Each structure stands twice: as C-alpha cells, then as structure tokens.
Chain A
Amino acid sequence: MAQNQASVAPMGKGKRSKVVRYNKWGYIFLIPFVAVFLVFNLIPLISTFYNSFYENYMDGLTQIGPTFVGFENYKQLFSDANIWKFSANTAIMWVMGFIPQIIVSLLLAQWFSDSRLRLKGSTFFKTVIYMPNLIMASAFSLLFFALFSDSGPINDLLVNKLHILDEPFKFFSSVWGTRGLVAAMNFLMWFGNTTILLMAGIMGIDVSLYEAAEVDGASSWQRFVRITLPLLKPILIYVIITSLIGGIQMFDVPQILTNGTGNPTNSTMTLIMYLNKHLYSKNYGMSGALSVVLFFITGILSLVVYNIMYRKRDKEA
C-alpha cells in the first residue's frame, strides 16, 4: 500500500484532482465484492450470532421457540462432555496427519531445492505428490471406505495375498484404525501442497548463506538446522496455522468414511460433524452457539496469520 501511495503522491496539483476524480472508481470497483460479502457472509454471520441466543428447534413438524434464552445454549454446549470430546478428536486426527506431513514436506522441499542433489524427474514427482490435493474428498473417502472394509480388497491383500495378518483387520471397528485412516487421507491430500509451499520458502533463502556455511565445513544437516529452519520460520508458522484452520474444518473425510456416525464410539466425530448434526436436527439455537464458538477460534487463528503476513509486509516497506 505504501508503495502505491508513493507513486501517486508526487504528482502535480492539477493531476492530483484528476486522480481524486478517478479514485471514486476505487469504490465502484469494490461494489461487487462488498455487496456479495454483505449479503452472503455478513448477514448470515449476524443471524448466526442472533440464533445462538434463542431456543429454537423442531419437534417433528412443530417449531419450538424461538424463545430468548441468553447464554443458555452456550452453557449447555460447554456443560456437555461432547464438545470437549469432539474438539479432542479433531485435534488428535489433525496432529496425526500433520506431524508426518510437515516432516515429509520439509524433507522433500529440502531435497527438491538442493541443487547438489540434482534430482531427476522432480517435476514428475511434484506433479504426483500434489495430485491427491485436487481429489474430491468425498469420493476419496468413499473409495477408502470400500477398499478398507472388513472384507474389502486391502484386507484381502493383507490376509490372503501377503499373509501379513491372520484375519481381516476391522479398520472401522477400531478407534485408531479409523482415526488412522482419516489422518492418512489428510496426510496424502496435503503433504504435496505443503512441500511446494516450503520449497518456495527455501528457494527464497539467500544462496550465499549456504555457500558461506559450506566453506566453514557445515554438514548438510547443520545447514538445514542452522540456516533453513530459522529462516523458514514465518512460512512454517503460516503453514501450521492455515493447516490448523483447515483441521478445524475437517468434515468431508470422516463424515463419508463413517457415514456421519463418528464411529467407533464417536471417536472420529469432528466439530463440524457435530455442527452438521445440530443443523440436521434443525436445532438452530445449538448450531448457532457452536458456530459462534468456531467463529471465534478460527477468527483468532486468522488474526495470527494476518499478523505474520502484515509484519512481513511492513518490513519490506
């Protein structure tokens, strides 16, 4: 922003008024964005807040409420063990997918950007590892559900072909089996994307730093820990936070994989799946309260991302 102002400001007085005249077009060009944002984002947000203070649900075809209940919905939400359990589920599955994701991505990003390795076919590899990111999560989940079912192809492979197991492993009856599958799918879908982001970050690091380190006799591990990691910190934080926000939104994969049940024992029920259940039961008060909570969590995380980017921009300027 500062740059733009600088390029406009030094102009002569006559021109300045002309510029001001043009500048009303700034507002005009913003109309579509602002109008759509107001109608489709802001009004729904306000009405979501509004709903959260009312008792309002359907019993069959009869509407109960709306009755103003203050913070009663929030009280009920937090007094219930569910929200803590589902938050924990979401966090656990996110961590299970994210840790291998960040490790593998760092490793690959390092390799891809290491000119001394001269890896052949890196375009091919990048293309392949990014591909799962574009796959429809619901279709991917249905595929995994079919492949990993009790008598499905994977169990057949493990039991009858490779003889690793004596009897089929019931993935969807096992807490860690199901969570593991969700995490594995999240890993598969996102590690390519993260690799490419981190690679861009590594490429941005001044090569002379590495050359100097090499002259000093630093090993490749030392170069990675002492130079790459510290300089990559802002991007790493960006990746972590955006992935965390993505984790909070986790829905499609566990929803389709468990058919919305969060089985076994609700251990794969995520926060958005819970929201979905309230929405389906037409419990507007509770879904409103849950939405508001999620809004604040993601809003705060969003501000963190904003701060990282904003501070960086300030430095540049």
Chain B
Amino acid sequence: MRKFKKIAALTLVAAMAASAFVGCSSSSGSSAAGGANTDPTEPVTDASGEEISYRDQLKEKTYDGEGSVLNIYVWNDEFISRLSDHFPGYEKIDATNGKIGNVEVRFTKVENTDNKYQNNLDDTLLANGANQENASADDKIDIFLVEADYALKYVDTDYTMNLADLGITDADLPNQYQYTKDAVTDSNGNLKGISWQGCPGLLVYRRDMAKEVLGTDDPAEVQKAVSDWDTFADTAAKMAEAGYHMTSSVNDTYRVFSNNVTSKWVEDGTINIDDNIKAWVDMSKEMVDAGQTGTHALWSDDWSKGFYQDGNVFCYFGPAWLIDFSMACDQEGSVGYDGGWAVTEGPQGFFWGGTWICAAAGTDNQELVKDIMLCLTSDEETMTQIVEKDHDFVNNSVVMEAKATDSSFGDEYLGGQNPIALFCNGIETVSLENITSYDQGCNEEFQNTMKNYFDGNYATYEEALDAFYEAIKVKYPALNVPE
C-alpha cells in the first residue's frame, strides 16, 4: 500500500513537472522524449512569443517532486564554485551547502590523494547498496565526480547511471570533445558520465627567463627550444647555467610521458611498466643529477615556490586550470600577477585532470541531475560564461574555437597571450586508450618511489622498482607484480 502511494505520488509529480515544462515550451523540454533534433538547451518560445533562454527556464524550476537533498561528492572546490557561479538559481548558504529551487544541495568533500576520495565514496556506495535502497532519501548520493585515472572503476559498474536513462543522448552533446566521452564510456558502449571541461596541457614558461637565456619570449621561438625531449634537455642545461631550474620538479613532466604510453599500467592483472614511463625515469634522473630540477611532490610548498617572482623555475606543464586556479596569479608577488607567463606546445601533447560528473544509480533527483549536467556541459551560454569568468577550457569545440580566434580575448596572466588556439591543437591528440581503473594509485606510488631513486636514496632503478611493487601489493591486493 505504502509502495503504491509512493509510486502514485511520483507519477503525479512527474506529470506535474512535465506539464510545467510543456507550459512554456511547444518543443517540449524532456529530451528523453525529445528525439534527435531537439536540443534541450535551446531557448523556447512562450505563449506571448517571447524567447525564454534555457538558463531562464532553469531559474523557474523548484524541483518540488524530487528528493529534498542533492548530495554531491567532490574532492575539491572546483565543481562547487562552477555550480554556485554558473547554475542559474543556485543560492549559496556556505562553503559546502547551497540551495536550488526547493532542493538543498550538500557537498561532501574528501581530498583526492592516496585514494582517500575513492575510499570514502566506495564506503558510502557499498553501504547504500547498488540502487541506494539502504540509504534514507536525504543520504542518497545523487552526483559524484570522477577523474580519468579511476573513472572506469565506477563507469564499469551499476553504481553509475546510464546517461540515456536520464534522458541525455549523444545528440544533446554534439560539440563535446570525443576523449571526454571515451573516458566515461563503459565496456558496453554506454555513456556514464559527462564533463564540462577539456584539459589539454601546454608548457607554461616564464617570459623573463626565456628572454634572458633564449633571447626571446615569443611562443613560436621558444617552442623551437622545447620541441622534443632532446632540445628540451639542451635548454635545461642552458637554464641550469643561468642558475634556473628547467622545471620545478621531475613530477612536472610525468603526465606528459604517462599520457603518451602505448600499454596499460595493468595488463592481465599484472603491473606493467610502459617504455615511455621508463623514459621519464631516465630523463628525470639525468636532470636531477645535473641540478636542473627538484624532486618535491606536486602541490607541495616547495613545488609552488616557482609561481612567485623569487622562484627560479623556468617552466611548468599544465592545462588551463593550472594557470588560473593554482598558480596564485591573483596574488601580489606572483609571476602571473604581472603577466609573466606564456604558453607553448612543448615536446608532446598531454592532458591533466578533468572532472567528470556521474549520476549515482538510485538518485532521487534525476531531473535536477540532468539539468545540472546539461547546463554546465552543453549549454553554450553557460559554457561561454565559464570560459570568461574562470578561463576554464570548456568541453565545447564551438565555444572554444570561437574564443581561439577572438583577438580581444587575452589572458592577463600570460601577458595578454590568447592560449586557446594552442589548447585546441593539444586536445586533438589526447587519447585515453590506455587508462585503467588503477591509474591513480599506480601513478602516485610510482612517482613516490622514483623520487627516492632520483634523490639517491635508492641506488638503482631496480631497487626502486621493487619498492614500487611492494607498495602496489599493499594498495591493490588484487594485482600481481612481475616476478
């Protein structure tokens, strides 16, 4: 009886929501029903013939029929600020709480390193059950975010919703970059997640050092000095002569190598070291021994010293968000504050980061989840806003290509350079063929043990490799290591 009541209520609510939508739109809002040629993010025309933009439509929604709490699992503030800044109708309550319509938005934030975010998410997902039948309505996870390094772990399970079941089809996402879809497509070809950003990376260098050592700070000229790893090494030697470090840490170049691998971290349940990973070790060891770079962890205080004028670091490797989000460019005394950086393509294309939005199976806020996904990742107006406000590289080729040729658009942190054309080139080369669900742990542990080798605390590469295998055995008991 109770169950029947619930179903009846749900049906009623769905009908109400649908009619509310139909009320202001003849082309119908629900894209599940909406066939291939209707874009839900297109403006609709109301009865009086006035156009109502997609964003204005969202503003009106109250989501009354859905769960009263939207639980979102994140590992940092990026998505929180994207949602609070760019989703129409989002009211901020405090750093991790907000409101959309009549739905309370709750963020659960657990840091990413050492698999902590995954562990916590796993605990909750497992406790809630595959369809979250064990969780009370307010505790059901509705959205969680994943990274490419471990996206498959969730995408290939029933814990993530098929986007088609939410009513989002490929046709809604014509301008998204293909790799962002590949990362979250399960083994049956279903799209299980969606991202608002692309993360092609570039080489970010200091103009003043380039002028001093290379005689020019023009990106095209500087590119000649870093066009492949051999010229990169030559430039590193020149930088060292001038008293500068080529990169802040060996870990800066890691992603560039690990994104261009030809085999996976785990092949047939056994750990595998790709040749390109080994190449990174060899180059890094030489650079450290020659005093051309350091060995500190990314995000450490020492690593970020180079963001400031007093630093002695020539270049970092990073995507758009690194420059805008991490390099302290809004702070006085930083290089970016005075527009001291510039970007160029560097030796190889790569990507770094990227956040995908997944809908948790069993969410009781499907309509809102769908709207958030579409608004942030497919609505051109919103995405243009994100580019302009946050300098993010958004997952929309039309928006980005328009920006690439926009001569009025320049990044003040880069001394007015418009980096978008370079980023657009980079994104074409991104491939996610060789990702596995163990990548985060493997990458972290590998960098960590190799740091000891670079520092001279392990005498040989083999010794470091053994330590890496030991660490993997503890972290992933299911994996085998080569004998």
Contacts and interface: CB of A to CB of B under 8 A. Distances in A.
A61 B302 contact: no
B407 interface: no
B477 A265 contact: no
A45 B268 CA distance: 37
Q: Is the interface of A mostly helix, strand, loop or mixed?
A: loop
B285 to A, nearest CB: 14
Nearest to B438: A60
B461 to A, nearest CB: 13
Interface stretch (A98-106, A148-156, A201-209, A211-219): A148-156
Interface stretch (B180-188, B418-426, B449-457): B449-457
B122 A61 contact: yes
A265 B467 contact: yes
Nearest to B297: A259
Nearest to A274: B474
B125 A61 contact: yes
B478 A64 contact: yes
B75 interface: no
A152 B302 CA distance: 8
A266 B467 contact: yes
A126 interface: no
Contacts of B455: 170, 173, 264
A281 B476 CA distance: 7
A282 interface: yes
Contacts of A25: none
Nearest to A64: B478
Interface string B434-465: 00010000000000100110010110000000
Interface string A214-250: 0000000000000000000000000000000000000
A260 interface: yes
B115 A280 contact: yes
Chain B, interface size: which category?
A: 20 to 34
Given A60-B153, A61-B122, A151-B305, A260 B476 contact: no
Given A173-B455, A260-B114, A265-B458, A149 B300 contact: yes
B160 to A, nearest CB: 10
B48 to A, nearest CB: 51
A280 B297 contact: no
A58 B296 CA distance: 31
Contacts of B477: 57, 59, 64, 281, 283, 286
Of B122, B448, B467, chain A has the most CB atoms within 10 Å of the CB of: B448
B266 to A, nearest CB: 11
B297 A152 contact: no
Contacts of B154: 61
B294 A150 contact: yes
B230 interface: no
A282 B467 CA distance: 20
A61 B126 contact: yes
Contacts of A151: 301-302, 305
A145 B116 CA distance: 21
A150 B455 CA distance: 13
A263 interface: yes
B159 interface: yes
Nearest to A170: B455
B96 interface: no
A96 interface: no
A59 B470 CA distance: 17
A150 B296 contact: yes
A58 B122 contact: yes
A277 interface: yes
A297 to B, nearest CB: 20
Given A150-B302, A264-B455, A266-B467, A173 B448 contact: no
Contact of B476 (A59, A152, A170): A59
Given A61-B157, A175-B457, A149 B476 contact: no
Contacts of A139: none
B295 interface: yes
Given A173-B457, A260-B114, A282-B119, A146 B470 contact: no
A127 interface: no
Interface in B149-180: 153-154, 157, 159
A261 interface: yes
Given A150-B296, A282-B119, A82 B478 contact: no
B478 to A, nearest CB: 4
Given A60-B153, A282-B122, 8 more contacts: A58-B122, A61-B125, A263-B451, A264-B457, A265-B457, A277-B474, A281-B477, A286-B477
30 contacts: A57-B477, A59-B476, A60-B437, A61-B154, A61-B159, A64-B478, A81-B470, A82-B474, A149-B300, A149-B301, A150-B302, A151-B302, A152-B301, A152-B302, A170-B455, A173-B295, A173-B451, A173-B457, A263-B451, A264-B451, A264-B452, A265-B452, A265-B458, A266-B467, A277-B475, A278-B474, A281-B115, A281-B477, A282-B119, A286-B477
Interface of A: 57-61, 64, 80-82, 146, 149-152, 170, 173, 175, 259-261, 263-267, 274, 277-278, 280-283, 286
The 6 closest A-B pairs by CB, nearest first: A59-B478, A264-B457, A173-B455, A57-B477, A265-B457, A60-B153
